Structure 1
Amino acid sequence: MDFAAGRYGAFRMERQGQDDGSEVYNELHAHGRCVHRYRPGPETFQEDITQKFPQEEQAIRRFLASVQLASLGSVIVLAKQFIPKALWGTILALPGIKHIVRSYIRRTLAEALTDCGVKDPVLRDIFSAEFGDHGMVPEKAPFFLHAGILAHYMPEGGFSPVRGSDSFALALVPTVLDAGGAVFVRAPVAKVVEENGRVVGVEMAGGKGVVRAKRSVISAAGVEVTYRRLLDEVTVAKIGGPPQSLLAAEQKGHGGSSHHMYGFFGFDGSAKDLNLPTYNIWSMLPTVAGTSSLSASWQSLFGTSPGTKPTFLTDDAAAAEAQLPCFISFPSAKDSAFEARCPGKSTAVLITESRAEYFGDVGPTGKRGEEYNRVKKRYEELLLKAMYRHFPHLEGKLAYSDIGTPHSNEHYLGRFASYGLDQDADRFLDPTLRVAVPGLEGLYLTGQDIALAGVFPQFIAAWVTFAKVVGVTSLDFWLLFADFAATFGWRSAFDSTYAPTNK
């Protein structure tokens, strides 16, 4: 069923691990080996881990029980949008709310593991490995944030859209057009147009005129881009400045801290011929026995102090010995329709982290400069080395290579930080970070900066923004909510498409 466009078959997803019957959606490689294969189903998930760590069975049960309760943190974070700013501090001081904030939002993932009695460093890494999905290492990640990732995958596993990311647009665009809307491509917005304290439309870049809003303007470009690029400085000052969480991020450097590097690789041979998996791999560095590897692995990507480069970027000998922690995925293997579109070819995506400042003085696109190209080439070499470490049979079959940098993000997204604002506790509790932009009627925010990073949270962000635009007392809101609830209920009751088959 297609929830996005309401049509059967318009948007289909396939389960990772379905090809070989394993239903494995992620693997964690750390401590010099594959330490865990993640399978869906709450009982299966728990049993797989308990079999490896029987001495920590009670701690495992306590932690997974806490994961289910941690969703209360999400409720508080989203409820903030419907509570007046003046009352937010009072609400947080209420005993019950204060307990939830302390237990699930202020408490970090690392603290939650310790409080639940999880001691084995490998077990802690298994529970923490997917921190890359939100960009906060266990010592900084709010517990509710990471618990949401675990709880999201645990019931049904991982899925990928048939036909890749294009399928989202192919399903959504006809719906917009059927409703009388319009969809523009290659149509960058220069600024939000404000008249007498109200937003009335957007001005297109390149002198292509103003698109007038019928009701309001909704920005999914992120807080940084909206406040620093789409609104002029005078307007931002007039409405009291940007959210506190944006100011805090800017004090750290370039907006949020997750500046990603991307390796896009193509290979000769189909996914079947090359035996490529549909699951993802979180590849971390080997570490000293008895210690956790995740934070140490990720820290190896950065210099010893802010502004300094890691040695693998400055020293050839260090680069020869370096191993990059990274995320490895094969989009062509996950998409059953890929072979028909690109016969005899396969693709891989590797993602790791960097910093925009590691590339030196960077020029415009196409004229980035020698240092930029040198650093980019070094990352390409190291990402390929990581690929071949796990899949040595791919060596010699590389047909295409392209590297994306934080500056690529800046070119396409208008910001260096892939995930937008850092997803720390202060950002989620920031009273000034609002869907309805304070002091500027008719302008609303949506997307990851007002909810969470990831695909599914954007549906939640859209619901919250929709509720703020039309009002929770609107008949339109409740009709749409009822339609969604009925559709979801039908799927839950009668559709076994997504039910895990392993026991």
Structure 2
Amino acid sequence: TGVTTLDGGEGSLARLLNGLGDGTLRFQRLPAQFDLVRLVRPDGQETRFAWGAPDGDNWARLKTLFPDEAAAIDAYAQQYRKAYGAIMQAMALHGLPRPAAAAMRWVLGGRLRQRADVTLAEALHGIRNPELRAILGARGGDYGLPPSRAPLMLHALVMGSYAEGGAGYPVGGPGRLAESLSATVRQAGGELRTGARVERILVEAGRAVGVQLAGGAQERAAHTISAMGALNTVQALPEGAAPAWQAGIQHYPPSCAYLTLYLGFDIDADALRALGFDGANHWIYDGSATGAPPDPEALVWRQATDTDAGALYVSFAGLNDPAHAAAPTAEVISLCDWDEFAAWQDSRLGDRPEDYEAAKGWIEDRLLSQFKRLFPALAPHVAYHELSTPLSQAAYALAPEGAMYGMATTPERLLDPALHVRTP
């Protein structure tokens, strides 16, 4: 789907990207309150809360809305801060040299394991009000897990990334990230190739010595670095190379697959803003689709060919890029089950069977209808729409089973030394 939100241009990620690239990246700030949670009840009425930065403002506004839960909000906020500190330690362990990481893991491992095992749902157990619990448990689409399965450490890592500088979008679109970073590679004498699919990692005497491309050509190098995800790396390695490591990685299932409805409008960014849209992301839990109270546990669209989606993420990325103000776009994303599309996994891009195309068209029409119901002011202005499915993600991004985030981020994965970063 591309990039929808990064930190606001003033945080550590933006500084890191500009340090690694040619320094030309600029970020358009999203609104101060950039993540709008919409809890749609079965009767169509809504409760809304907009998350922003800094965190202290979020907690204060929540306590104003739910004064009877003030003490419980404070208790949760304390757990959240401790989880953020723990995940920062865990990420540092993955980046340290192996001997230092092993020593630190011996010192910190027990406490980090205890924190990693706490799910977001467990951390919210002290919240009595179901709507407050839903607001605090929302936005799981950012990491692909509902509260009952998401480690609180993971939730804190993702949401905490916006605490410093808010949210932003790269001016000129996500392609500017590649342009800026590739300039550094070329300046150092390197080369970038697109459409060069790696079919096999070449291993000799226990070391990776290069890659073989899909066309048969080989590229050899003193150092071979894989950035295509652990599951894809395992698939490209010879069967006998590092068998214990491969088996450990294959133990992890892929994360959820996803559907994306791409929208184009017949009005410009100024007209969209006049209709009340400011570029904030919308996290929608649609009880009118499920016939039940809105619930972040209904994150995954389990029967995409039979029902409306219980949860949607809508990004107005086109509103946040001044370079594309004349033709803004939006993306409607719903997590789904790969199993609903697995029957067609052996079909070829551009030559899918008729029953796949029929199912895809039905889902596209239904998702578009749901979007128009939830955004009635935009309904008459949708000029273009197209759907991508998990098969699209598998074909274009080599995402295993159309996974949104590679391997599912379980508590075990957060601390697994098999995922230690190794650099030359």
Q: Percent identity over the alignment?
A: 27
Deviations 1:382-410 (A, max 9, x none): 22123212321322333222211111111
Q: Does 1:338 align with 2:352?
A: no
Letter in 2 for 1:417: A
Q: Shift of the alpha carbon at 1:292?
A: 6.4
Deviations 1:215-252 (A, max 9, x none): 31111111111111x21223354xx3515242242xxx
Letter in 2 for 1:106: D
Q: Does 1:143 align with 2:152?
A: yes
CA distance in 1 between partners of 2:355 and 2:220 (Å): 43
Kept after mapping to 2: 8 A contact 1:130/1:149: no
**Higher mean Cα deviation, 424-433 or 121-130?**
424-433
Q: Name the structure 1 match of 2:336.
A: 354
**Alpha carbons of 1:290 and 1:408: their partners in 2 closer, same or farther (altered >3 Å)?**
closer
Q: Shift of the alpha carbon at 1:349?
A: 0.4
What SS is found at the alignment partner of 1:375? Answer: helix
**Alpha carbons of 1:196 and 1:93: their partners in 2 closer, same or farther (altered >3 Å)?**
closer
CA distance in 1 between partners of 2:186 and 2:160 (Å): 35
What SS is found at the alignment partner of 1:234? Answer: coil
Q: Shift of the alpha carbon at 1:37?
A: 1.2
Q: Name the structure 2 match of 1:429.
A: 415
Q: Name the structure 2 match of 1:279.
A: 280
Q: Name the structure 2 match of 1:119.
A: 128
Q: Shift of the alpha carbon at 1:16?
A: 0.8
Deviations 1:185-218 (A, max 9, x none): 22222211122222111122213x22221x3111
Q: Shift of the alpha carbon at 1:261?
A: 0.6
Q: Shift of the alpha carbon at 1:328?
A: 0.3
Q: Name the structure 2 match of 1:232.
A: 238
Kept after mapping to 1: 8 A contact 2:93/2:105: no
What SS is found at the alignment partner of 1:274? Answer: helix
What SS is found at the alignment partner of 1:149? Answer: helix
Q: Does 1:196 align with 2:205?
A: yes
Q: Name the structure 1 match of 2:396.
A: 412
- Equivalent residue for 1:134, pick from 123, 136, 143: 143
Q: Does 1:58 align with 2:100?
A: no
Q: Shift of the alpha carbon at 1:283?
A: 0.8
Larger radius of gyration: 1
Kept after mapping to 1: 8 A contact 2:260/2:387: yes
Q: Does 1:246 align with 2:250?
A: yes
Q: Name the structure 2 match of 1:449.
A: none
Deviations 1:72-128 (A, max 9, x none): 13413541564759x96x97675x6423321x20111111122xx322111111111
CA distance in 1 between partners of 2:339 and 2:82 (Å): 40
Kept after mapping to 2: 8 A contact 1:35/1:122: no
CA distance in 2 between partners of 1:8 and 1:412 (Å): 27
**Residues 312-327 of structure 1 mapped to structure 2, 5 A cutoff:** 313-314=305-306, 319=307, 322-327=308-313
CA distance in 1 between partners of 2:176 and 2:354 (Å): 38
Kept after mapping to 2: 8 A contact 1:63/1:112: yes
**Alpha carbons of 1:427 and 1:97: their partners in 2 closer, same or farther (altered >3 Å)?**
closer
**Alpha carbons of 1:289 and 1:354: their partners in 2 closer, same or farther (altered >3 Å)?**
closer
CA distance in 2 between partners of 1:419 and 1:411 (Å): 15
CA distance in 2 between partners of 1:232 and 1:365 (Å): 27
Work out the number of aligned pairs and report it: 397
Q: Name the structure 2 match of 1:454.
A: none
- Equivalent residue for 2:295, pick from 293, 296, 306: 293
**Alpha carbons of 1:392 and 1:267: their partners in 2 closer, same or farther (altered >3 Å)?**
same
Letter in 1 for 2:201: V
- Equivalent residue for 1:13, pick from 27, 48, 56: 27
CA distance in 2 between partners of 1:61 and 1:403 (Å): 42
Q: Name the structure 2 match of 1:390.
A: 374
Letter in 1 for 2:143: H
Kept after mapping to 2: 8 A contact 1:60/1:118: yes
Kept after mapping to 2: 8 A contact 1:266/1:398: yes
- The answer for unaligned runs of 5 or more in structure 2 is 1-8
**Alpha carbons of 1:291 and 1:100: their partners in 2 closer, same or farther (altered >3 Å)?**
farther
CA distance in 1 between partners of 2:174 and 2:95 (Å): 30
Q: Name the structure 1 match of 2:113.
A: 101
Kept after mapping to 2: 8 A contact 1:67/1:151: no
**Alpha carbons of 1:101 and 1:74: their partners in 2 closer, same or farther (altered >3 Å)?**
farther
Q: Name the structure 2 match of 1:263.
A: 261
CA distance in 2 between partners of 1:65 and 1:324 (Å): 30
What SS is found at the alignment partner of 2:261? Answer: strand
Q: Tell me the TM-score normalized by structure 2.
A: 0.85
Kept after mapping to 1: 8 A contact 2:255/2:409: no
- Equivalent residue for 1:184, pick from 186, 193, 210: 193
CA distance in 2 between partners of 1:411 and 1:51 (Å): 48
Letter in 2 for 1:271: A
Kept after mapping to 2: 8 A contact 1:121/1:292: no
CA distance in 1 between partners of 2:190 and 2:118 (Å): 44
Deviations 1:350-402 (A, max 9, x none): 11012233133341111111221122112212221232123213223332222
**Alpha carbons of 1:369 and 1:273: their partners in 2 closer, same or farther (altered >3 Å)?**
same
CA distance in 1 between partners of 2:336 and 2:23 (Å): 39
Q: Name the structure 2 match of 1:368.
A: 352
Q: Name the structure 1 match of 2:5.
A: none
Q: Name the structure 2 match of 1:222.
A: 229
Letter in 1 for 2:237: L
Q: Name the structure 1 match of 2:3.
A: none
CA distance in 2 between partners of 1:100 and 1:236 (Å): 27
Letter in 1 for 2:295: S
**Alpha carbons of 1:91 and 1:162: their partners in 2 closer, same or farther (altered >3 Å)?**
closer
Letter in 1 for 2:227: A
What SS is found at the alignment partner of 1:233? Answer: coil
CA distance in 1 between partners of 2:97 and 2:323 (Å): 46
What SS is found at the alignment partner of 2:127? Answer: coil
- Equivalent residue for 2:51, pick from 33, 38, 44: 38
